[in-house]
Amino acid sequence: MIDDLVKDVLETGEVYKKLIGGFAPATQKILDNSDKIKALSNLVKTADVQKGFKALRDAGKLKNTFEALIIKHNNLFRKDIVDAAQWRIDNANNIK
């Protein structure tokens, strides 16, 4: 359900902000976007892996990434988006 996704997105944003000890403009943009599905989909469609993903990975918090939320709420996303998110999680340790 979309309400659960929104709740999880907000929680993930808070985890990341606490991890970096401050404001995260790119993350805030996703948090502020009313269309969370579109915002998250656009995030994983890019070739660039975001700084937040890397920071959460390095802290052992992959379950708190937006990619993990896409996988958790896979029924809300297109298959190619879920596959892209899964690829990033599966290859997290190989991403620089």
- What letters, b where the CB count within 10 A reaches 16 and e where it falls short, cover 47-79? eebbebbeebbeeeebebbbbbbbbebeebbee
> Residue 46 — pLDDT band, cuts 50, 70, 90?
confident
Q: What whole-number percentage of the chain has pLDDT above 70?
A: 100
CA–CA separation, 42 vs 30, rounded Å?
10
CA–CA separation, 86 vs 79, rounded Å?
10
pLDDT of residue 35: 86
CA–CA separation, 48 vs 80, rounded Å?
16
DSSP string of 13-25, one letter each residue: HHHHHHHHTS--H
The model's pTM is: 0.87
